[in-house]
Structure 1
Amino acid sequence: MAVKTNYSINGKNYFRVSASFGRDSNGKLIRKYFYGKSEKEAKKKLEEYKESLKRGLVVDKNLYLSPIMEQWLYEIVRNKIKASTFDRYEDIFRNYFKASSLSYKLIKDIKSIDIQKYYNDLYKSGKSYSRIKSINKILNYFLNYCFAEGYILRNPCLNITIPGKNNFTSKEVEVFSRDELRTIIQSNDKALIRLIAIVSFSTGMRIGEVLGLSWNDIDYKENQIHINKIVACYTEIYGDIRKKVKVIQAPKTKSSIRTIPLPTTLIPVFEEVKRTQNINKLKCGSSYKKEYKNQIFLTEDGNLIYPTNLTHSWKLLLKRLDIPYKKFHSLRHTYATMQFEANVPLKTVSVLLGHASIDITADTYTHVLKKEKNKSADIISVLKMC
């Protein structure tokens, strides 16, 4: 029986198979061809080549960082992460890798010193330690992929020092005073942002979590609030088309999905929101959006609220109430600080805040914990005097 072939060279018949291995500097797929006297032999050569790549015995010579990283980002990473996370990754790639000094270096030729120099230059140009740390996180992720694929024999990110670490100090969190909180609570200001703020500092919820609340998340019978979704804002990317969108999605981490106590003082707040929502429905009539009818906090026409759009409303509210400006997130810090001042255990506060670990809570509120610790020391001193 004749052996099946599909390709001829110099009058001789072969079976040819091909596979793509990344892209060249112009973005074109790099294809490699393997020939054998039969289909089985050709495919065996292809598999041997792939295996040699994985074992680091063959390193492709024409793989440039930028085009391969872009392909990896869009074809592999995009399928593993949320669209909002992909937006952040794509932003870092576009601003720090697509047209950087590393862009068209061969991946196999990139050394630790090249990456270190690039980071040092970024730091000198004014980029912060935390920003460069985020950039390095993405590059390290990509180079680990390259190592797994056999494009490089080792990850050059392993010996990198993020510049600015010695100068980096975590800022003490800003909190609102009790008088400022009373001013917000007792105000007759009708802006929706005031009610959103009251919910935030009464529960410690993040802004996206507050906006993600639906009416069935409020359990009046058990006096609980179920936090299981957020409103996120990100850029959707389709080739050269970029569109800003807002969606309801699951929180970033499992620990963010939680159930917290419903303060009874919030019940009148939710009732006020409900009344306002009913008035808006009557005003808008058929133009009121029904898609989000179960959500608690919406625009006047029933649409989702952009978390980023609240910044302007928040500034105006504080100005009207004659309260010095602090970020909206400071309400969450205020909640946590007051919990510690009330001697609520660190672990409990961590769970209430939805932190991924107790270490995050401890690191964020070091100054508060130290202050409370010093209070304990004062009590011991008093005991010794008795």
Structure 2
Amino acid sequence: MAKSGPNYKVNGKEYYRVSLEIGRDATGKRKTKFFTGKTKKEANQKKQEYINKQILGLKDTKTLWFAQTFNSWLFEVVKMSDIKPTTFARYEGLYRNYINDSPLACISIDKIEPMSIQRYYNDLFKKQKKSSSQISYLNKFIRKFFNYCVDCGYIVNNPCSGNKISLPKEKRSEAIAKKVEIFTDDELNKMLNSDDCKIKYISLFSLATGMRRGEVIALKESDIDIKHNEIHIRRTIATTAIFDENNIKTKQTIVQEPKTKNSIRDIPLPNSLKSIIKKAKLIRNEEKFKAGESYSTKNLDYLFLSERGNFINAGNLDKTWAKFLKNIDIPHKKFHTLRHTYATKQFENDIPLKTVSTLLGHGDIGITADIYTHVLKKQKEKSVDILEII
């Protein structure tokens, strides 16, 4: 009896090959799928895996590599949904920095195990010093992709779902040490007493209201209700990457909806801002007169515009902000520090957490509590000893 051996040869190498009839084509001819392996057992195992996938209703994922499939999902599915340009730009950045060249990039999506993802996250945390929040955001992104793969029948289970993965966490002592930065009273006085200019008015608006930078420069005159002392926050301006139909990226300054649904809000108009509003309008009108016909007339209802009447570019605003701080001898801090300072001052004046959270436009009161833990702790320490005052 002849000894069984390899029955298939390619490029001078011998393999075992087994076949499976998978139906008939349009002409009625039988269709056959082949499976090869270094051993007969390996070839038959591949055949059985294919049969099992067909029984479960799964599709053949032979060419569905992680990074490649992720790219297709991102640009052909996610991009086509009702997604804000800034959100898509963040997603594209995550893909470019954490997916495209990751250790998982060239693995077939049906071969990716929770432990593979766990090891990647551990490496990001320990060796690349990425924060818990960064890894958590990345995990949500990857989990969303795998949910899509499950829905499409590429895989049975999402390797990121449930308790399959443990996200790395900073030690409690390290987390507590990360306090939000604020401006001192001395620095705030320097701002208030500085020479009048547009960046001063923009910064004082944020300081007096806790509004985000994009919300301040997106304010229209019609958003400011002097009669009822209210500011209506309805939009934000952002400079972000925009991908055209050919996925070519350009930087653009755009108007879009605020960060969350809670960011669409009405807040009190501080009396201190009324004179600043008049001065800001005066500067805008002076710039319009100076620019003449080159001044854009499309955005005249906006309170803060560039010298030519366009939306203010975030990069240019950052440079102007840095120069402003340098001129008044204040060490550089991010513009967002004004918002932190506003919230801290509110807490120091015993304004309730829920109220501050609403004024800031946070999606959840827990977000506010997490950010300002150290401030709230100080306020708790002021609590009265009831037995001492009875």
TM-score range, shorter chain: 0.7 to 0.9
Question: What percentage of aligned pairs have identical amino acids?
Answer: 45
Aligned to 1:27: none
2 CA distance for matches of 1:217 and 1:119?
44
1:161 aligns with 2:180: no
Please state if 1:75 is matched with 2:76.
yes
In 2, distance between residues paired with 1:166 and 1:56?
43
Report matched runs for 1:1-386 at 5 Å: 7-9=26-28, 56-62=56-62, 63-80=64-81, 81-123=83-125, 124-158=127-161, 159-166=164-171, 169=175, 171-187=178-194, 189-238=195-244, 239=246, 241-377=248-384, 380=386, 383-384=389-390
CA contact (8 A) 1:56 1:152 kept: no
Q: Cα deviation per residue 1:291-346 (whole Å; 9 max; x = unaligned)?
A: 21111111111111122432222222122112232221111111111111221111
Q: Distance in 2 between matches of 1:206 and 1:381?
A: 43
Q: Does the CA contact (< 8 Å) of 2:58 and 2:155 recur in 1?
A: no
- Contact 2:131–2:170 (Cα < 8 Å) also in 1: no
**Cα shift at 1:284:** 0.6
CA change 1:57–1:210 in 2 (3 A) is same
Q: 1:8 to 1:56 in 2, by over 3 A?
A: closer
Q: Which residue of 1 aligns with 2:14?
A: none
Deviations 1:149-176 (A, max 9, x none): 2211111113112234437515211112
Answer yes or no: is the 8 Å Cα contact 1:203–1:335 preserved in 2: yes
Q: Greater CA deviation, 59-68 or 203-212?
A: 59-68
Indicate the larger mover: 58-67 or 352-361: 58-67
- Tell me the secondary structure at the aligned position of residue 244 of structure 1: strand
Q: 1:178 to 1:296 in 2, by over 3 A?
A: same
TM-score by length of 2: 0.81
1:104 deviation in Å? 1.9
Deviation string for 1:347-378 (max 9, x for gaps)?
11111111111111111111111111111236
Amino acid at match of 1:152: I
* Number of corresponding residues: 338
Give the conservation status (yes or no) of the 8 Å contact 1:217–1:226.
Answer: yes
AA partner of residue 176 (structure 1): F
Q: Cα–Cα, structure 1 residues 381 and 172, in superposed 2: closer, same or farther, change >3 Å?
A: farther
Following TM superposition, where does structure 1 have runs of at least 4 consecutive aligned residues deviating by more than 6 angstroms? none
Shift of 1:382: 5.2
Give the AA of the match of 1:61. T
* Deviation sequence 1:217-267 (CA, Å, 0-9, x none): 010111110001000121112335210011111112110000001111101
CA separation in 2, counterparts of 1:322 and 1:342?
Answer: 28
Write the distance in 2 (CA, Å) between the matches of 1:208 and 1:240.
25
Structure 1 alignment gaps of length 5 or more: 1-5, 13-51
Partner residue of 2:45?
none
TM-score, structure 1 normalization: 0.82
Q: 1:77 to 1:303 in 2, by over 3 A?
A: same
How many angstroms does 1:7 deviate by?
Answer: 4.0
Distance apart, 1:287 and its partner CA: 0.4
C-alpha spacing 1:61/1:280, structure 2 compared with 1 (3 Å): closer
Q: Structure 2: how far apart are the matches of 1:381 and 1:296?
A: 54
Amino acid of the structure 1 residue aligned with 2:27: S
Against the structure 1 CA distance between its residues 166 and 270, is the aligned structure 2 distance closer, same or farther, given a 3 Å change threshold? same
Q: Is the 8 A contact 2:280 2:304 kept in 1?
A: yes
What are the ranges of 5 or more consecutive residues in structure 2 without an aligned counterpart?
A: 1-24, 31-52
- Give the partner amino acid of 1:94: R
Q: In structure 2, what is the Cα distance between the partners aligned to 1:76 and 1:255? A: 27
Calculate the aligned-residue CA RMSD, in Å.
2.3
Change (3 A) 1:258 1:99: same
Distance 1:292 1:174 in 2: 34
With 137-146 and 90-99 compared, the bigger mean Cα shift is at 90-99
Deviation of 1:111 after TM superposition, in Å, equals 0.5
Secondary structure of the 1:76 match is helix
Residue range with higher mean Cα deviation, 68-77 or 166-175: 166-175
Q: Structure 2 CA distance, aligned partners of 1:56 and 1:194?
A: 63
Q: Distance in 2 between matches of 1:362 and 1:118?
A: 30
Partners of 2:224 and 2:231 within 8 A in 1: yes
Against the structure 1 CA distance between its residues 308 and 8, is the aligned structure 2 distance closer, same or farther, given a 3 Å change threshold? same
**Which residue of structure 2 lines up, in the alignment, with residue 17 of structure 1?**
none
The aligned counterpart of 2:42 is none
Q: For the residues of structure 2 that align with 1:60 and 1:7, how far apart are their CA atoms?
A: 21
Cα deviation code 1:11-48 (max 9, x no counterpart): x9xxxxxxxxxxxxxxxxxxxxxxxxxxxxxxxxxxxx
SS of the aligned residue for 2:79 comes to helix
- 2:58–2:156 Cα contact (<8 Å) kept: no
